[in-house]
Amino acid sequence: MALKRISPRVIAVVSAGGIVGSLARWLISLPFSQKGFPWGTLIVNYGGSVILMVILLYVRDHKSPKWWWRPALGAGFCGGFTTYSAFALKVDQYFAHAQYSSAIAYTVASLLGTYLLVVVTHEALKNRWV
């Protein structure tokens, strides 16, 4: 499969969204200690799941949203805001230090929590813009 040529303006809006999302994640995570439970990462991943579902539902129900909406907010902002890598790293650290209950609790909280938030957001907004 050949790669589609990507417009420089799409690259620009994804980049801008990623910068804003990454800065927002960093700012939200600042108050939380890196030594304890990773509340900052959990909160941004929860928030990012809700934001992405809202974006997808909005775009689905609006036939002509601005061209930059999906790339800037979906791939850019949410991609920069949420962080699977920090989640995976923390789980690995828990296992490396034999903190199995913490690893399981964090994994369940992350996976089940984000899934439930996506489902609740979808159900709450599925007919909102129709």
Domain-by-domain residue ranges, the chain? Answer: 8-125
For 31-73, write each residue's pLDDT tens digit.
987 678 999 999 999 999 999 999 989 888 887 778 888 899 9
| pLDDT of res. 2 | 57
Q: Which two tokens stand for residue 102?
A: 């913490």
Q: Which two tokens stand for residue 122?
A: 């979808």
For 75-114, write each residue's pLDDT tens digit.
999 999 999 999 999 999 999 999 999 999 999 999 999 9
| pLDDT of res. 127 | 85
What are the residues whose beta carbons fall under 8 Å from the beta carbon of 47, sequence distance 6 or more?
A: 28, 81
